Amino acid sequence: MASDYKYGRRKEYQIAEFLERRGFSWVCAPGSRGVVDVLAKRGHQSLAIQVKATRGLSISYTRLTLDEEAKLLDYAEDSRALPTLALVTRNYVWFLTVPDGQELLKGSLIPLRYQYS
């Protein structure tokens, strides 16, 4: 079984490809242990995304700690991006705004199209 880090990293790239199929350009943060995991942009819309993934059958907004939320809000404000939480369970994702939890996007993830290092 893949490590939790490798599993989470793979989900970050699946989310990036999900957004790419919807017209976003993106970049994944190196190392993936910072405030933002994926930055995505489409037109004038920019998203600063923190990814929370589980192999379980359900996931909740509470996966984002108060400290993580505050850092994400600060980062997003500085970069003029919408602070976004991507909740992933198995191969399904919900994109929610932070802190109000409004749903932006949702959908199924597919296997990665490319090999990432």
Question: Cβ atoms within 10 A of the Cβ of 30, count?
Answer: 7
Residue 88 lies in a domain: yes
Sole residue written with tokens 């939790």? 4
Residue 11 lies in a domain: yes
C-alpha span between 71 and 66 (Å, rounded): 9
- Please state whether beta strands 82-89 and 92-97 pair in parallel, antiparallel, or not at all (unpaired): antiparallel
Band (82; pLDDT cuts 50, 70, 90): very high
Which pairs from 44-48 meet CB under 8 Å and 24+ separation? 45/82, 46/79, 46/80, 46/81, 46/82, 47/19, 47/81, 47/82, 47/84, 47/95, 47/104, 48/72, 48/75, 48/76, 48/79, 48/81, 48/82, 48/83, 48/84
Work out how many domains the chain is built from and give that number. 1
Residue 116 lies in a domain: no
- pLDDT of 42 > 90? The answer is yes
Domain interval for residue 64? 4-108
Residue 29 lies in a domain: yes
- pLDDT of 96 > 50? The answer is yes
Q: When comparing pLDDT for 32 and 49, which is higher?
A: 49
pLDDT for res 1 = 46
C-alpha span between 97 and 104 (Å, rounded): 7
Residue 114 lies in a domain: no
CATH, residue 46: 3.40.1350.10
